[in-house]
Every structure is written in C-alpha cells, then in structure tokens.
A and B are shown apart, each in its own frame.
Chain A
Amino acid sequence: MHVVDVRGVTRRFGTRTVLDGITLSVDRGEILGLLGPSGSGKTTLIKLMTGIDKADEGTVHMLGEQMPKLSMLQRFGYMAQSDALYQELTARQNLLFFASLYGLSGGRRQQRIEAVMSVVNLLDDLNKPVAAYSGGMKRRLSLAISLLHEPEILILDEPTVGIDPVLRQSIWKELNSLSDRGTTIIMTTHVMDEAEKCDRIGFIRDGKLTAVDSPEGLKSRSGTDSIEQAFIVLGGGVRS
C-alpha cells in the first residue's frame, strides 16, 4: 500500500485549471521533492494532500484513508510556505500552542519542544519573541513546529528558503534520519541542488506532472548531467 496515493486529480479556481490530472504515489520512508517554477501548482497539490483543499476531480488517499478527513491531520506535519507564526508571542508560546492543538501536554510536551528546538538549533532562543527572530530563524521554528507531534508524513512547502548552508546540511541530516525511521517526507522546492537530495523528484509545470523519477533516473532519461537540464528537457522544454 502506498502512503500517498493521488489519482487523476484536477483542481480549478474559477476557469483556471491549477492542477491537471495528476497521478502520483509515494512509499513509506521516501523523500519526494516536487520541483517546479512558482505558480506551477506545487502548493495546491500539497494542500490537496493535507485535506485543507478538495479536488474537483480524482481522489487523494493518504495512509489508506480517503482525503479530506479531519482526523488525518493528526498524522501529518505541515510547514507552510509563509511563516505562520504569532509574532507577538515567544517561540516557546508558539510551540506550546501548536503542541496543545496536537494533543500533547505535560512532560511529554516539554520534552518534544526541547527535542525539536535542538534539531533546528534554536534552544537558546526559546524565550525570545518571534518578532525578534531573523527570517531564517522563523523558517527553522516553523520546521520545529511541524515536527512536534512526530508525524508519519511530513509535508514541507519550501522548507529551506533563507537558511544558511551549514544549517541546511544539519536539517537535511535530520530529514534523512527521519525518513530512515519511516517518516515519509514530501517537499516542494525550486532549488535544483536541493531536489537532488530527494529519493525521487516530481517535475511540475503548468499544473501537470511531467516526470517522476529518482535524480539519476531523470538525468539518464533526459540524457543530461544535471537536474536543471533534465527539467528543461522533461518538463516540456521551452514554452511554446
């Protein structure tokens, strides 16, 4: 059974078709990167997977359950593209709030808050108001929040924007160890070298999934030696 099973999904906003007949599946513990220019439909696809949005056609199954389904949100970790944080509150208060929404409390909550903040290297800034955080720190806090309840599927929308290379490496190390322990990770990105670290990459362009394969597979299929070249060849080439 696939952890993520998207079949023939189409989503329209008014007359505009944002996603056009997408079929995609992801296995347990896999890291899937969705690569495409902004406006290609990556975020919409992610919202359909979480059940925040609903497909006009086709079905989405997550962990065997048909979406959208409220109780499934407990099993996902989600990091939105914009840093959805409460600026007036401290990092700890933000974490406490989201931890409570996921049903964590008491010592377990405390322990998880410290664990996720050490992953993103923000333990020393736990009691600072978020308004005093830099852009990169906010991204890291958003990531920490998505990890709080140890989700089975982690859905990350542009997770490493504004994060410096050293920290990006340590975050990738954590993502890899999560996937080794069975967490499925789906992320959007438009950074080519980041996509290369994923187990598989899906190319999205104008709402269509043009190719899904491992980085090596994509390169050999397109007869190129970089993901960027492969995207140009397999992603429909120069727009007509």
Chain B
Amino acid sequence: MRTRALAIRIIRQFVRDKRTLALLFLAPLLVLTLMHFVFNGQHVKPHIGMAGIPPKMYDSLKIEGADLTSYPGIPEAEQALKDGNLDAVFSIVNGQPSILLEGSDPSVSQAVMLVLQKSLQANMKSIQPNISYLHGSSDLSSFDSFGPVLIGFFSFFFVFLLAGVAFLRERTTGTLERLLATPIRRSEVVGGYLLGFGVFTLLQASLIAWYSISVLGMYMVGAVGLVLLVNLLLTLTALTLGTLLSSYASSEFQIIQFIPIVIVPQVFFSGLFNLNAMQPWLQKLSTIMPLYYGADAMRGIMIRGETFSDIQLDIYVLLGFSIVFALLNVLALKKQRAI
C-alpha cells in the first residue's frame, strides 16, 4: 500500500518532468544512432602511392579497394606521404616488395595491409581456405559486435544518474525527512523507488532494444524476451547502486563525481575492449562490475543466440547485486531515521 503510493508518486513526478523523460528515453536512442553511423559507415578506402613499379606488373597486382596513384620514383612518393596525401607507399626494389606506412592511425594502417596482403596472396596462388562462421557472419560490423554492450551501458548509465539525483533531491529538499516522519518502513521506501523507477526502466529497456534491433538493424539472433530481462536486471542494479551512492553525496555535482569512479571503469571491463591483453590480476576486477555480467549476457544472446541456461550465471549475479545494493540502501536510510 505505502510502497504503491510511493511508486505512483514517482511516476506522477516523472510524467510532469518532460525533460527528464526525454533524457531517459531519447538520449540513449540519439547516442546509439550516432554510434551506428560512426561504426557502420563505409569502409575506409586507403590511398596508396605506387613507386618504381613497371606498368606490366601494375595490372597483374590487381589491387582492389584502394585509391592508387603512380609515382615515377620512391623519393617523390615519400614526399607525398610526408605531405599527408598518401596513407602508404608500395614499391618494388630488385623484385623485393616493400611497404612504407604513414602509421599514425592504426586502423588506416590495417586497411592498407589488408588490401595489399589480399593482392599479394592472390598472386602467390597459394591454397585458398573456405571461410565460414560459427557465430555472426562476414558482414558483422564492429557496431554489431559491441552494440549489445552499448545497449546495456546506456540503460545502466542514464538510470544510475536519474535514480541518484532523484533520491538525492528527496533528501536535500527535506521531503525524505517528511516521508520518514510517516509510518513508512525503510524497506518500503526502497521498494517504492524500485517499483516506480522500475516501470520506467522497463519501458526504456524495451524502447532501446526495439530501436537498436528493428530500426538500426543491429545483429540479433537470440530471444527478445531475454534481452529485455537482462536489460531490466542491469537497470535495477543501476537504480539500487545510484540511490545507495546518493546517500553519500550532498549535491547533484557530487553525483556527477561518481561517474569517473563508478561508471567509467565499468566501460573498460564491459567487453568493449579485449580483456585478455590485461594483467591477470587486473582482469579479476571485472568480477565486481555489474556491467561486465550484463554485457556478457547481452552479447551472448544477441550474437551467439544463447538461451537462458547459457546466461543464467550472469542473471543470478545481476540479481544478487540488486538485492545487496537494495539491502544496503535500507541500512543507509538509518542515517536519516533512527528506526
């Protein structure tokens, strides 16, 4: 009854605050759309200068997917590279091919190498393997690969901010004190917040998932229901963590200060970057980061089509995080009221 009254109040406040609604629902879509265009754009066509290559050989090289410019000698080509007109210089001296890369952007260097290696392989007439994929396909773009992580991250981030600020405001405006002067239990306060925000986070999770998959065409082979479940659990964790930490902030600005401490490190451990290259003891840090589990499950469902039994560990851990944070919340409220 009291929990429900609190949830209804939170929903009413939300509905009247159009700007916050927009932050919750439109901001993630905007950022995802931008990400989509940045990472799903046309492949970069590298610009390669050809120096000292006889015209006959030129044709047989069959270099595809690059803009080629011919230079009479290596010094001219190298000058063009220095001037920033080329990404690489390809030359053959005494039958020995050599490549000089501009080198300041690894992704461009990689593109150059890919183009040239393809051409050299084709010339060597070596055995060509048949390539097939267990998960995904040759069309799987980097947006498809870390899209699931992004869906989880944006839900987490925006809910964390909103819940933290909302609970803080309840305290700084004196309404929390007033609220605690009624016979409401501390657990009912936390429950009301979970329920009221839960409605919006569920809507948000559904909207983000639908938009990413149906509008942006993100790669998705798993069950939509599972995506929603994982996303909801992730936002519940964000909600409980946000309200818990807001007990230790005295202004909105101090909530913002939690972002580099609590949110940013989670991004590094969320699977956007390969953790295997990291020191083993540092890798262990990922086990305390909610986003790691959420991202792992989201990726599993969307790219590898994993089912509930494959991701149940992630689900239980997220549930555990939420429960622990919620209980700590109930305890932290003791600071505001003795009983």
Contacts and interface: CB of A to CB of B under 8 A. Distances in A.
B43 interface: no
Given A52-B177, A80-B178, A97-B5, A88 B13 contact: yes
A85 B6 CA distance: 14
Contact of A69 (B175, B179, B339): B339
Interface bracket on B: 20 to 34
9 contacts: A53-B338, A69-B339, A73-B181, A85-B175, A88-B12, A89-B12, A93-B9, A100-B5, A103-B1
Nearest to A105: B1
Contact of A86 (B4, B9, B184, B336): B9
Contact of A101 (B16, B17, B182): B182
A216 B309 CA distance: 79
B54 interface: no
* Majority DSSP secondary structure for residues of A touching B: loop
Nearest to A100: B5
Given A101-B2, A101-B5, A88 B16 contact: yes
B183 A70 contact: yes
B184 A101 contact: yes
Interface of A: 50-54, 68-71, 73-74, 76, 78, 80-89, 93, 96-98, 100-103, 105, 129
Interface string B167-206: 0000001110111111111000000000000000000000
Contacts of B182: 73, 98, 101-102
A72 B19 CA distance: 39
Contact of A52 (B173, B180, B183): B180
A71 B181 contact: no
A86 B17 CA distance: 12
Contacts of A84: 173-175, 177-179
Q: Which 7 A-B pairs have the closest CB atoms?
A: A84-B178, A100-B5, A54-B338, A82-B174, A84-B174, A78-B181, A101-B182
B337 interface: yes
Contacts of B185: 70
A85 B5 CA distance: 15
Contact of A74 (B1, B175, B183): B183
Contact of B338 (A51, A83, A87): A51
Interface centre among A68, A89, A100, A102, by most B CB within 10 Å?
A100
Given A68-B339, A97-B5, A100-B5, A52 B13 contact: no
A97 B338 contact: no
Interface in B305-339: 336-339
A83 B177 CA distance: 11
Interface in B8-40: 8-9, 12-13, 16-17
Contacts of A87: 173
A74 B184 CA distance: 9
Contacts of B177: 52, 80, 84
A35 B16 CA distance: 40
Contacts of A98: 182
A81 B181 CA distance: 13
A127 to B, nearest CB: 13
Contacts of A54: 338-339
Nearest to A70: B339
B9 A76 contact: no
Nearest to B339: A68
A73 B185 CA distance: 11
Contacts of A101: 2, 5-6, 179, 182-184
A41 B2 CA distance: 32
Contact of B17 (A88, A93, A97): A88
Contacts of B180: 52
A51 B182 CA distance: 11
Contacts of A89: 9, 12-13, 16
Contacts of A78: 178, 181
Contacts of A74: 183
Contacts of A129: 16
Contact of B181 (A76, A85, A96): A76
A93 B10 CA distance: 11
A97 B181 contact: no
